[in-house]
Amino acid sequence: MSGKKIGEVILDVQNISLRFGGVKALTDISFNVREHEIRAIIGPNGAGKSSMLNCINGVYQPQEGAITFKGQTFHHMNSRQVAEMGVARTFQNLALFKGMSVVDNIMTGRNLKMKSNIFQQALRFGAAQREESEQRLFVERIIDFLEIQPYRKTAVGKMPYGLQKRVDLGRALAMEPTVLLLDEPMAGMNVEEKQDMSRFILDVNDEFGTTIVLIEHDMGVVMDISDRVVVLDYGKKIGDGTPDEVRNNEDVISAYLGTTH
Amino acid sequence: MAFFLEALIGGLMAGMLYSLIALGFVLIYKASGVFNFAQGAMVLFAALAMARFSEWIPQWLGFDNKILANVLAFAAAAVCMMIVAWAMERWVLGKLVNQEGITLLMATLGASYFLDGSGQMIFGSDIYKIDVGMPKDPVFLLESVFQGGVLVNKEDVYAALIAAALVAALALFFQKTSTGRALRAVADDHQAAQSIGIPLNRIWIIVWSVAGLVALVAGIIWGSKLGVQFSLQLVALKALPVVILGGLTSVPGAIIGGLIIGVGEKLSEIYIGPYMGGGIEIWFAYVMALLFLLVRPQGLFGEKIIDRV
C-alpha cells in the first residue's frame, strides 16, 4: 500500500453510546476515519461491530455522542440522509432485491442520481430516456469491474452466494460513494472468493479513492488490506492503530487474538 | 358453439374485472410486502366516495351536467384515495418499517375495519348508485357465422377494455420506470432500499395511491353493475383465488389468473354444474385455487421461493 495518499479526517465518531433497553451495545466509542484509507473494525462476536456500522449508517440512533462527517456534526441521522451525503453500505446477511436481475439491483443504486420525474419516466420521453441509458452505462462498467457479466440478467436470488456478495458491493458502488461501509464482505466465502473480494476492495480504494470502513472476521485479510484497525470487545474500544500495533496490543491479544490463535 | 363462445366471452369479461381487484393486492404486495386485507374496504370506500360526490358536487356548485359531475366526482374520489394512502403511510406503515409480514397484515386488517366504518360515517350507509353512462344494452356479434349470433353485454366490453388499458399502463410503470424499480426494491428489502437512498415513505404513498386509484376504477365498474353497498367489498374475496392462481408478485399473473378464474367459473357452471345440482360458480374458483396450491404454491407467475438452508 505504498504511495497511497491518506487525507484528512473525513468521518469522526465521538463518544458514541448505544443501548437497547438495558443492554449496552456500545459504550463511549470514539475513532476517526481518514480520507482514502481502509479502516477495519474487528472484535469477537457480539462486540458491537455491526451496531457501530448501523450508527454511522443512520439505522440506529445512538443515545449519546455525535458523528462528524465532512465537517458537519450530527447527533441523529436517518438512512436516506446518510445515503445522500455519499455513504454506501453492504450487508452482513445479504439484503439484495432477490427477484430482480443483477442489472436492476445495481441500477437501484443509481436511484439518487436520477433526476427525471415519475411522469417523464412513465412516458419515456427525452430526459428520462437519455438518463436511463446514461445510468445503464455506468452500471455496465460496475458489472465489468466486478466480473459478473455472464449473470447480468440473472435473478440475484438464483446466483451463488459469493457472487451475490459482489452484487451487494456493486449496488453500493453504483452510488459513487465517498465512504463505503462493508459489513463482513467475506463472511461465508472460500479462500478463492475471499481473494477476489479483497482484490475488489483494494481496487475500489485505489482506483476511485473511496474511503472504506470494513468489518471482518478473517484476521489474515484484515491485517493484509487495512491501514488502521479499531478493536471492539463487549461494546468497548480496546485497541486502535495500525495492524502491527494492534497485533501487539496486550488487551487485544487476550480478548480476541489470544483466543483464536 | 355459439353458446360456448357466449359463455367464454362472458367469463373473460368477468375475469377481467376480477383481475382489476387482484391488481390492487398485487401492487401493494409488491411494494410493501404486505397482503393488504383492506383492499375490499378500499374498493367500497372509493365507490362510496364516487357515488356520493357525483350527487353532492352538482348540488354544491349548482349545475346539472352529468358528465361534468362524474368527472369532478372521480377527481374528488381520487383525492380521497390519495388521502387514505397518505394516512396509511403516516400513521400505520411508517411506524412499522422493518416489521414482520404478519404484523403488517394485522395492521391492514385493522385499517380495513377503520375504512369500513369511516366510509359509511362520511358517505352514509344506504345503497347508492353510480351512473357513469355505461351502456346496458346487449349486442349480437358474429351473426353471419352462427345462427342468432353471440350475445355480448356492452357494459362488460367497456369495463374489460378499461381494465385492460389500466393493467397495461401499470405493467409498463412497474417494469420500465426507475420509480417502478424503486418500488420493486422496497418490496424486496426495506433496509437495503433505505441504505441506497430510496425514500420509503414516498414510495409507499405512491403505491397506495395507485392501488387506491385501481380500487376506485374497480369500485366504479362493480358499483355501476351491482350498486354501491356494503357487500361491494366482498368482491375482493373473489380476487383471492385469482392472486393464488396468478402469483402475488406478478402483474401479468393477476390478469391471466383473473381470466382463468372468470372462464373457469362460467364454464364449470354450465358444463359440470348440472351434474352437481348447479350453483357451483360460487365456490368453484376456490377449489381451482386450492388445487393450484398443491401443484404450484407460488402461482403461475409468482417468484419461486428458494430458501438457503
Of A150, A176, A202, which residue sits at a domain end? A176
- Examine the domain organization and report whether A102 and A171 are in the same domain: yes
Lowest mean pLDDT across A174-178, A223-227, B16-20? B16-20
Chain A's closest residue to B190, CA to CA, is A95
Q: What is the CATH number of the domain that holds A69?
A: 3.40.50.300
What residues of chain B lie within 8 A of the CB of A84, using their CB?
197
Residue B307 lies in a domain: no
- Which tens digits make up the pLDDT trace of A149-184? 999 899 888 888 889 999 999 999 999 999 999 999
The CA distances from residue A17 to A14, A32, A115, B110, in Å, are 9, 15, 38, 37
Residue A93 lies in a domain: no
Compute φ and ψ for B36, nearest 5 degrees.
Answer: -85, 100
Cβ–Cβ of A95/B173 closer than 8 Å? no
- Examine the domain organization and report whether A156 and A232 are in the same domain: no
Question: A79 touching B, CB under 8 A?
Answer: yes
What residues of chain A lie within 8 A of the CB of B165, using their CB?
none
pTM over 0.80? The answer is no
Question: B309 touching A, CB under 8 A?
Answer: no
* Residue from the list B169, B178, B191 with its beta carbon closest to the beta carbon of A111: B178
* Residue from the list A59, A100, A122 with its beta carbon closest to the beta carbon of B191: A59
- Examine the domain organization and report whether A181 and A82 are in the same domain: yes
- What count of residues does chain A have? 261
- Within 13 Å of residue A93, how many CA atoms lie on the same side as its CB? 3
What residues of chain A lie within 8 A of the CB of B196, using their CB?
83, 88, 108-109, 111-112, 171-172, 174-175
Residue B75 lies in a domain: yes
Min Cα separation B278/chain A (Å): 42
Share above pLDDT 90 across residues of chain B, in percent, rounded to a whole number: 16
pLDDT at A191 over 80: yes
Chain B's closest residue to A173, CA to CA, is B196
What residues of chain A lie within 8 A of the CB of B306, using their CB?
157-158
Strand order through the sheet with A38-42: A87-89, A179-183, A211-215, A38-42, A228-233, A236-241
Please state the domain count of chain A. Answer: 2
- Which of B186, B50, B34 lies closest to B110 in space, CA to CA? B34
Q: State the Rg of chain B over Cα.
A: 20
Of A176, A207, A222, which residue sits at a domain end? A176
Residue B79 lies in a domain: yes
- Which of B122, B109, B127 lies closest to B41 in space, CA to CA? B109
Compute φ and ψ for A211, nearest 5 degrees.
Answer: -75, 135
Please state the domain count of chain B. Answer: 1
Task: State how far the Cα of A162 lies from the Cα of A179, in Å rounded to an integer.
Answer: 23
Mark B162-198 as b/e (b = at least 16 C-beta within 10 Å).
Answer: bbeebbeebbbbbeebbbbbbbbbbbbbbbbbbbbbb
Say what the pLDDT of residue B222 is: 86
Min Cα separation A30/chain B (Å): 23
Residues within 8 A of A (CB atoms), B 275-304 only: 303
Q: Which of A83-87, B91-95, B137-141 has the highest mean pLDDT?
A: A83-87
Cβ–Cβ of B188/A99 closer than 8 Å? yes
Has the ipTM of the complex gone over 0.90?
no
Say what the pLDDT of residue B303 is: 64
Residue A91 lies in a domain: no
pLDDT at B37 over 50: yes
Residue B93 lies in a domain: yes
Residue B127 lies in a domain: yes
Compute φ and ψ for B111, nearest 5 degrees.
Answer: -60, -35
Task: State how far the Cα of A13 lies from the Cα of B7, in Å rounded to an integer.
Answer: 71
- Examine the domain organization and report whether A261 and A138 are in the same domain: no
- Which of B298, B269, B299 lies closest to B283 in space, CA to CA? B269
Report, as an integer, the average pLDDT of B289-299. Answer: 83
Task: State how far the Cα of A209 lies from the Cα of A96, in Å rounded to an integer.
Answer: 25
- Examine the domain organization and report whether A146 and A157 are in the same domain: yes
Say what the pLDDT of residue A116 is: 61
Place of cell 398485487: B26
What residue numbers bound the domain in which A110 lies? Answer: 98-176
Q: Any idea what DSSP says for residue B239?
A: H
Report, as an integer, the average pLDDT of B82-106. Answer: 86
Most A CBs within 10 Å, among B97, B178, B303, to test the A interface: B178
Question: B250 touching A, CB under 8 A?
Answer: no
Min Cα separation A99/chain B (Å): 7
- Examine the domain organization and report whether A260 and A192 are in the same domain: yes
Could you tell me the pLDDT band of residue A123, with boundaries at 50, 70 and 90? low
Report, as an integer, the average pLDDT of A27-45. Answer: 92
Q: What is the CATH number of the domain that holds B235?
A: 1.10.3470
What residues of chain B lie within 8 A of the CB of A91, using their CB?
191-192, 195
Residue A62 lies in a domain: yes
Question: A171 touching B, CB under 8 A?
Answer: yes
Of A148, A176, A204, which residue sits at a domain end? A176
Lowest mean pLDDT across A88-97, A167-176, B106-115? A88-97
Give me B192's grid cell: 437495503
A34 strand-pairing partners: A9
Whether the CB-CB separation of B96 and B110 falls below 8 Å is answered with no
- Examine the domain organization and report whether A27 and A140 are in the same domain: no
Residue B200 lies in a domain: yes
- Examine the domain organization and report whether A138 and A122 are in the same domain: yes
Residue B182 lies in a domain: yes
Residue B305 lies in a domain: no
What residue numbers bound the domain in which B96 lies? Answer: 2-295
What residues of chain A lie within 8 A of the CB of B195, using their CB?
57, 59, 79, 83, 88-89, 91, 95
A16 strand-pairing partners: A29
A77's CB contacts (< 8 A; 6+ apart) are: A58, A61, A67
Residue A8 lies in a domain: yes
- Which of B87, B105, B82, B102 lies closest to B207 in space, CA to CA? B82
